[in-house]
């Protein structure tokens, strides 16, 4: 039986322990931010680094908890110089950590959409919020065609770049392309098209004949997703100005040649789409991240709160956890409604440190 003197210490420990555990159970509701198209998150060393399209520059957020994204540290990372081929319409920035350096990938042009191409920045600082960002130049395949929404990933020790592009020099259809990388900013060889819009749900959104879809064909925003021995590419389909904007799925089959278009199998239906019941419209241009302790898989994406809001400033940032089927396929479920309480990404290591602190305090 504890002595009278030790009872207060027991109560102190109890309250410290329960207090720290309660603090660790952070929650959030969607949207995480009221605006922010093309959201991207990377998690490293307990920090979440977040960015999105501003259209004019690159801004980076840093936080230990995405539930606090609205109040996270924020910094202007890079402002392009005037009068260049990459001075305007900066879209879909992504931050990656490759060979102990940070890289930002983004699409930009000189004010004319036909000139959109992919570009890269490099930073050797351990913290991407610090150090100097160096412009590395354009990332282009030998054919050097229109390109947006670039992303990179490593598979079996080889780095690849994927993006949305035109086959020729005129607008009309956006396809998904892939190429090998010699280094983080240099393409090795030419591009290979691995996805074209073939299903009706990929083809909604003709600007000139909105009453009679489908007409325009769009595949964009490709993102690699690796799970155990499986590789997927999740992409956005149909015009972002329509409520039919949704996510499609490509699966790498038994042939591990990523540059062989026949190696990729397309799902016949979208894997993440508008939920009229939950009032979440046109979910798309996502990215994926792990919880800080590596135990959970999360998707972050933009969507609208009302029908017909299109591609303007109404697109807000949202996130939710997803799971996997017995066959190893991603199960994204339905976009959760605004205001629904969601537990923040898990961080069991942080919780353990908090409990250890409570024990020391006792």
Lookup result for tokens 């020099």: 169
Instruction: Give the angle 102-103-107 at the CA atoms, nearest 5°.
Output: 160
DSSP strand E in 228-359: where? 230-237, 246-252, 264-266, 281-290, 297-304, 316-324, 330-331, 342-343
149 included as an active-site residue: no
The whole-angstrom separation of Cα 320 and Cα 193 is: 30
| DSSP annotation string for 142-178 | TT---EEEEEEEEETTEEEEEEEE-SSSSSSEEEEEE
The whole-angstrom separation of Cα 239 and Cα 266 is: 19
Taken in order 219, 332, 233, 225, the sign of the CA dihedral is positive
338 included as an active-site residue: no
Q: Which residues contact 203 (CB under 8 A, 6 or more apart)?
A: 197, 213, 214, 215, 216, 217, 218, 238
Is residue 162 a contact partner of residue 153, using CB atoms and an 8 Å limit?
Answer: yes
Other CB atoms within a 10 A radius of the CB of residue 255 amount to: 10
- Tokens standing for 148? 């947006």
Which one of the listed residues 38, 175, 202, 243 is annotated catalytic?
38
Q: Among the residues of the chain, which ranges form H helices?
A: 6-24, 348-361
The whole-angstrom separation of Cα 149 and Cα 285 is: 9
- Tokens standing for 302? 């933009």
Which one of the listed residues 109, 202, 220, 223 is annotated catalytic?
220
End-to-end CA distance of the chain: 18
Please list the active-site residues: 38, 220
């Amino acid at each position: 039986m504890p002595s009278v003197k030790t009872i207060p210490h027991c109560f102190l420990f109890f309250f410290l322990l329960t207090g720290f555990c309660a603090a660790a159970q952070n929650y959030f509701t969607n949207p995480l931010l009221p605006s922010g198209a093309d959201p991207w998150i990377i998690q490293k060393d307990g920090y979440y680094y977040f960015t999105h399209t501003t259209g004019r520059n690159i801004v980076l957020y840093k936080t230990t908890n995405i539930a606090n994204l609205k109040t996270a540290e924020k910094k202007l990372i890079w402002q392009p110089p005037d009068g260049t081929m990459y001075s305007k319409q900066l879209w879909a920035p992504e931050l990656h950590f490759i060979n102990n350096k940070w890289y930002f990938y983004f699409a930009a042009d000189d004010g004319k959409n036909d000139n959109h191409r992919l570009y890269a920045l490099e930073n050797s600082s351990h913290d991407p919020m610090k150090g100097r960002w160096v412009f590395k130049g354009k990332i282009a395949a030998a054919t050097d065609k229109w390109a947006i929404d670039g992303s990179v990933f490593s598979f079996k020790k080889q780095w690849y770049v994927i993006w949305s592009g035109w086959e020729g020099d005129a607008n009309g259809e956006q396809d998904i392309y892939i190429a090998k990388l010699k280094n983080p900013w240099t393409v090795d060889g030419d591009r290979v098209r691995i996805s074209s819009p073939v299903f009706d749900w990929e083809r909604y959104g003709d600007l000139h004949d909105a009453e009679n879809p489908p007409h325009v064909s769009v595949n964009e925003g490709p993102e690699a997703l690796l799970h155990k021995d499986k590789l997927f590419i999740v992409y956005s389909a149909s015009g972002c100005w329509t409520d039919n904007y949704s996510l499609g799925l490509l699966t790498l089959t038994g042939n591990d040649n990523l540059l062989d278009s026949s190696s990729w199998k397309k799902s016949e239906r979208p894997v993440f789409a508008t939920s009229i019941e939950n009032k979440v419209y046109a979910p798309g241009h996502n990215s994926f991240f792990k919880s800080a302790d590596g135990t959970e898989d999360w998707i972050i994406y933009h969507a609208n709160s009302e029908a017909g809001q299109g591609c303007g400033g109404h697109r807000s940032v949202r996130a939710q956890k997803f799971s996997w089927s017995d066959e190893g396929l991603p199960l994204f479920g339905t976009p959760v409604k605004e205001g629904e309480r969601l537990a923040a990404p898990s961080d069991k290591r942080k919780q353990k440190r908090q409990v250890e602190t409570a024990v020391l305090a006792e």
